[in-house]
Structure 1
Amino acid sequence: MKDNGRRFSPVITDFIYAISGILFCGFALQGFLVPNKFFDGGVTGISLLIHELYHINIAIVIVIANLPFIVAAAFQVNRKFALKTLACVIGLGICLLVVPYPVITSDKLLISIFGGVFMGIGVGLCMRGGFALDGIEVLALYTLKRSSFTISEIILGINIIIFLIAAVHLGLPTALYSVLTYYTASRTINFVIEGLEEYTGVTIISGESENIKQRLVLEMGKGITVYKGERGFLKETYNISQPCDIVFTVVTRLEVRRLRNLVHKVDPKAFVFTNTIKEAAGGVLTRKERH
């Protein structure tokens, strides 16, 4: 029985993520965006634009608009992902048809911010469950193989076209507010996926590296990697250098300040720089499994 529980636990978790994401997206659409003729980016934005121009039910438009991208996902990613995405999109369509969401506000600023926030929460939760509510990234992957553009550039280009069409047909103010909606949704998606535990890589170069290594491991409980390097090479004394240990470690962004303070106490002249790490696993990291 325990083995069965463990086997089905990830499936149940993914299902909860998907249902929660669908409900949040439905709330964003029916409670904020659709009644006030606002837009988002990607296939959802295309669906909202078609809905406004041709007055077709938004639930039907979203499902139909995503179908070509779901088919492409079966070839570009895999069939399992495509089927999960199809189920999620159909679930959103059903949600939009049957759930009686109230219209929350007609204030444009509130719509653009909170409509984006709830949309971002919904899409982010679905992504954590291994689903997708928007096929725009599949199109970007397809185009990437046939052009020199990056995925971000392709998605940006598609969204620019969407917002330009919206500006022509529905007015520039609505299009600009919709850009804010899209930006808010994008940032919220990143937060939902990465959370407060987004990792930061920290590189430390110091003459007191031995003391710093000891305090990182014993006081902060961090794993470290040490590169052998040389320090010095100043303009006035270019030919003078010393061997040193270059210390690299990974912390959450909430721990960056504590780490900087620790290093500063040991060596105020230490050279410290950070970079964001999107995914990290293994080693001594303790983190919940990401879906």
Structure 2
Amino acid sequence: MARKHRKLSPLEIVQRVLLIPLGAVAMAVALEIFLVPNEVIDGGITGLSIVASELSNVALGIFIFVLNLPFLMIGYKQIGKTFALSTLYGIVVMSVTTALLHHVHPFTEEKILAVLFGGVILGFGIGLVLRYGGSLDGLEIVAILISKKTRISVGQIILFLNVFVFIIAGFVFGWDSAMYSIFTFYIASKVMDIVVQGLDESKSVTIISSEYEEISEAIMERLGRSTTYIYARGGYSREDTQMLYCVVTRLELAKLKSVVHEIDQSAFIAVQNVADVHGGNFEKKAIH
């Protein structure tokens, strides 16, 4: 029997209806008020749309919609109805908003300021749409599908494909503009990560120490975080031991390291990024 997809709650529906267009409007503002007038482009299908608009004098919003449409159809079949419709909703809003803002005078003609402010607003808009289940660029859909069939991450695929977009931009707008565009893409990607993951980005921590029991108690008492014991055997010593595993926020990581090293200076600590965390006592705050 085919597995049924979970239906969205009323709150999730309201969030998508209100916040996806907010993100789309933010992206349109970044493009039309800051970036495009200063010959700085975004990556992906949006970047190709900006190049096509420059070469043909056809409105940017038309290219954004038309070039994304085939990828939306692929996304509808391969990724899911809800994602595709959310993406279509965001792209339509963005296309219309770019058309409305096309003749608005840019806020600045200083490229550095345009890159900084445009990149931040662009990252905020893209991140908001991604966080609430949509996308504003068909290139992300392509990257998701390629990633499913390969071992390459979505981020690496997007970066690789965008190299060609920025090379094209270099021939059309000049290499200075292409380099400004790469810098804008970098700023936007960092802001996007903050919006999607939040400032309290989670970290998973693995600790190997002979003082594991004392360290576990200290983490509970001073950070309010529970730990999990994982059986392990030393490859060199051949001795049985226990590893500690716990999840903390980015802001708690430094304190955790300090707690561990107070007990065992030679403790091994491995830290990894965690995309999302649900359940358990993770929402509890430190009690000391």
TM-score, with structure 1 as normaliser: 0.88
Q: Which residue of 2 aligns with 1:134?
A: 137
Aligned-partner Cα distance in 1 for 2:232–2:136: 47
Matching residue of 2:20: 18
Change (3 A) 1:215 1:101: farther
Name the counterpart of 2:185: 182
Corresponding residue of 1:158: 161
Q: CA deviation at 1:241?
A: 5.1
Aligned length: 276
Identity %: 33
Q: How many Å separate the matches in 2 of 1:93 and 1:208?
A: 59
Contact kept in structure 2, 1:167 and 1:174, CA below 8 Å: yes
Q: For residue 9 of structure 1, report the CA deviation from its aligned partner.
A: 2.1
- The aligned counterpart of 1:39 is 41
What corresponds to 2:4 in structure 1? none
From 66, 69, 73, give the equivalent of 1:67.
Answer: 69
Q: Is 2:266 the counterpart of 1:269?
A: yes
Q: Are the structure 2 counterparts of residues 191 and 7 from structure 1 closer, same or farther at C-alpha, using a change threshold of 3 Å?
A: closer
Matches of 1:254 and 1:16 in 2, distance apart? 30
Tell me the secondary structure at the aligned position of residue 12 of structure 1: helix
**C-alpha displacement at 1:265, in angstroms?**
1.3
CA deviation map 1:203-245 (0-9, x unaligned):
1111211111111123321121111223483xxxxxx554322
Of 117, 121, 124, which residue of structure 2 is paired with 1:118?
121
Contact 2:123-2:189 at 8 Å conserved across structures: yes
Aligned alpha-carbon RMSD (Å) = 2.1
The gaps in structure 2 that reach 5 residues or longer are 1-7
Matches within 5 A, 1:124-273: 124-144=127-147, 150-231=153-234, 233=236, 240=237, 242-273=239-270
Residues in 1 aligned to 2:150 and 2:229: alpha-carbon distance in whole angstroms: 39
Unaligned runs of 5+ in 1: 1-5, 234-239
Equivalent residues in 2 for 1:33-112, closer than 5 Å:
33-99=35-101, 102-112=105-115
Q: CA deviation at 1:137?
A: 1.6
Contact 1:14 1:128 in 2 (8 A): no
Task: Tell me the alpha carbon deviations over residues 31-72 of structure 1, each in whole angstroms, 9 at most, x when there is no partner.
Answer: 111211211111111111111111111111111111111111
Deviates more, 1:258-267 or 1:145-154: 145-154
- Residues 237-265 of structure 1: per-residue CA shift (max 9 Å, x gap): xxx55432210100001000111111111
TM-score by length of 2: 0.88
1:16: Cα distance to partner? 2.3
Between the aligned partners of 1:201 and 1:142, the Cα distance in structure 2 is: 27
Residues 216, 144 of structure 1: alpha-carbon distance in 2 compared, 3 angstrom cutoff? closer
